[in-house]
Amino acid sequence: MENVKVWILVIFVASSVLSVESVGLKDLKACNFRAVYNFGDSNSDTGGGSAAFWIAGLPPGETFFGRPVGRASDGRLIVDFIAEHLGLPYLSPYLDSIGTSFRHGANFAIGGSTIRPQNESMSLNGVSPFSLDVQIVQFDNFKVRTGYFYERGKAGHCHNLPRPKDFSKALYIFDIGQNDVAAGLRKKNDTDFHASVPDIVDQLAKAVQDLYEHGARTFWIHNTGPIGCLPVSLHYHDIRPEELDEQGCLKAQNAYCMEFNKKLKDRVTKLRAELPHAALTYVDIYAAKYELIGNAKKEGFVDAADICCGFHEDEIQVYCGHKQNINGTEIYAGSCENPSDYISWDGVHYSEAANHWVAQRIINGSFSDPPLPIRHACHKL
């Protein structure tokens, strides 16, 4: 059986390579993306959550920016490396009113966001009220108001705004869904989760359709990573050996992710038929991150279950950057000496080094369907 699985993987990879070669990648012009619009959660939040809910503080941001910038990492996120690769500035959060420029796009991602609105709260369990439908409304409002200033020639308002003609030439990224899966795990009701997945992916599809109707044409859609491999999942549970897979990840939690990802990929395939002028790329973030976790030492990282920032000892858990009084002693949960040695920044989010590793693999199309590099994502295979 294992040999059969290997051959299936070989055939899939080979067919992907052939499909690119048959088009002739060297004959495809690079897409001239004038802007990037991102919708997501904390994996791609570049400061929106901080603008909305809390004051950003160190140690997050210490490696690259040298100051708090509202990212859940020591430095750059995958979306930052995508912007760099496309020759564009880092995306300003839509909700950030200080020093923002939206000339080359905007980031609507907010930490804790879900695709489907949850009957929960940020204060209760970290669920953001800025679910995907709200983020899409924000974008629609942003686009309308941008057009208003350009139509009336209000030049003083336009230098930091995207040109109306650039919306159809932008790249639209979706990096959301992990918190929907996490909510299913938290509620511990398999039946309800299985029943909810089709609606969750349909709501993401509805968001894509809304953007398409407003002129968007190129979509880059991430699936969700392996939640069962997150150190926070492994540190907060009493785990039996049989619950773990060969990489030391929780099989049951990853099964939820894989179910969501399969349904999402199927829905993206349907969208290609429903939106004839759109180019939709499905990006297998799960496979990229799982490969990194499985080869942590080989790729120069410490054990994938190790956490850089935070205090996690003797069943005491203090979140990254926080303080807690334990038996009369104040504990500050600071960061490790060399964050670039770690895959996990804070137990939930990835370090800049790990984000860079993943970004390099997805930017070149290695984990994409169709297998086109991001610079060619506007083309349909």
Q: Choose among 381, 283, 296: nearest CA to 344.
A: 296
Q: Which residues of 114-147 are buried (b: 16+ CB within 10 A; e: fewer)?
A: bbbbbebebeeebbbbbbbbebbebbeebbeebe
pLDDT classification of 107: cutoffs 50, 70, 90: very high
- Residue where the block lists tokens 């020759």: 87
Helix (H, G, I), strand (E, B) or coil at 148: helix
The whole-number average pLDDT for the span 71-80 is 98
> What is the pLDDT, as a whole number, of residue 312?
81
> What is the pLDDT, as a whole number, of residue 159?
79
C-alpha atoms less than 13 angstroms from C-alpha of 143 in its C-beta half-sphere: 21
The whole-number average pLDDT for the span 228-255 is 92
Contacts of 241 (CB under 8 A, 6+ apart): none
Query: Would the pLDDT of 2 be above 90?
Result: no
Query: Would the pLDDT of 381 be above 60?
Result: yes
44-48, 222-226, 313-317: least confidently modelled range: 313-317
Tokens of 311: 């205090």
The helix or strand, by DSSP H or E, that contains position 94, with its residue range, turns out to be: none
C-alpha atoms less than 13 angstroms from C-alpha of 130 in its C-beta half-sphere: 26
Q: Which residues of 350-376 are buried (b: 16+ CB within 10 A; e: fewer)?
A: bbbbbbbbbbebbbebbbbbbbbbbbb
- Residue where the block lists tokens 């009084």: 325
Q: Choose among 78, 114, 91: nearest CA to 220.
A: 78
Percentage of the chain surpassing pLDDT 70?
91
The question of whether 341 is a catalytic residue gets the answer no
pLDDT classification of 14: cutoffs 50, 70, 90: very low
Q: Distance between CA 161 and CA 165 in Å, rounded? A: 12
Q: What is the CA radius of gyration of the chain?
A: 21
- What angle do helix axes 251-274 and 285-294 make, rounded to 10 degrees? 150
The whole-number average pLDDT for the span 285-300 is 98
Of the candidates 16, 42, 113, 366, the residue annotated as catalytic is 42
- What angle do helix axes 352-363 and 78-85 make, rounded to 10 degrees? 50
> What is the pLDDT, as a whole number, of residue 3?
45
Query: Would the pLDDT of 11 be above 50?
Result: no
Give the DSSP letter string of 13-46.
Answer: HHHHHHHHHHH-GGGSPPP----EEEEESTTT-S
Percentage of the chain surpassing pLDDT 90?
76
> What is the pLDDT, as a whole number, of residue 5?
36
- Pinpoint the alpha helices (H) of the chain: 2-23, 48-53, 78-85, 122-125, 132-151, 155-158, 178-187, 190-213, 231-235, 251-274, 285-294, 352-363
Question: pLDDT tens across 186-196, in order?
Answer: 988 899 999 99
Query: Would the pLDDT of 13 be above 50?
Result: no
> What is the pLDDT, as a whole number, of residue 188?
84
Query: Would the pLDDT of 1 be above 70?
Result: no
The whole-number average pLDDT for the span 335-346 is 97
Q: Work out the number of other CB atoms within 10 angstroms of the CB of residue 201.
A: 24
Of the candidates 104, 349, 356, 376, the residue annotated as catalytic is 349
Three state DSSP letters for 193-237: HHHHHHHHHHHHHHHHHHHHHCCCCEEEEECCCCHHHCHHHHHCC
Q: Distance between CA 247 and CA 90 in Å, rounded? A: 34
Q: Is 362 left (phi over 0), alpha (psi -120 to 50) or beta?
A: alpha
Q: Is 139 left (phi over 0), alpha (psi -120 to 50) or beta?
A: alpha
- What angle do helix axes 190-213 and 178-187 make, rounded to 10 degrees? 160
> What is the pLDDT, as a whole number, of residue 157?
66
Mean pLDDT score across all residues of the chain: 91
> What is the pLDDT, as a whole number, of residue 70?
96
The question of whether 346 is a catalytic residue gets the answer yes
Query: Would the pLDDT of 271 be above 60?
Result: yes
> What is the pLDDT, as a whole number, of residue 317?
83
The whole-number average pLDDT for the span 136-162 is 85
The question of whether 349 is a catalytic residue gets the answer yes
34-48, 98-112, 118-132, 360-374: least confidently modelled range: 118-132
Sign of torsion over alpha carbons 193, 182, 225, 175:
positive
Q: Is 291 left (phi over 0), alpha (psi -120 to 50) or beta?
A: alpha
Of the candidates 346, 356, 368, 376, the residue annotated as catalytic is 346
pTM exceeding the 0.85 threshold for the entire prediction: yes
> What is the pLDDT, as a whole number, of residue 19?
43
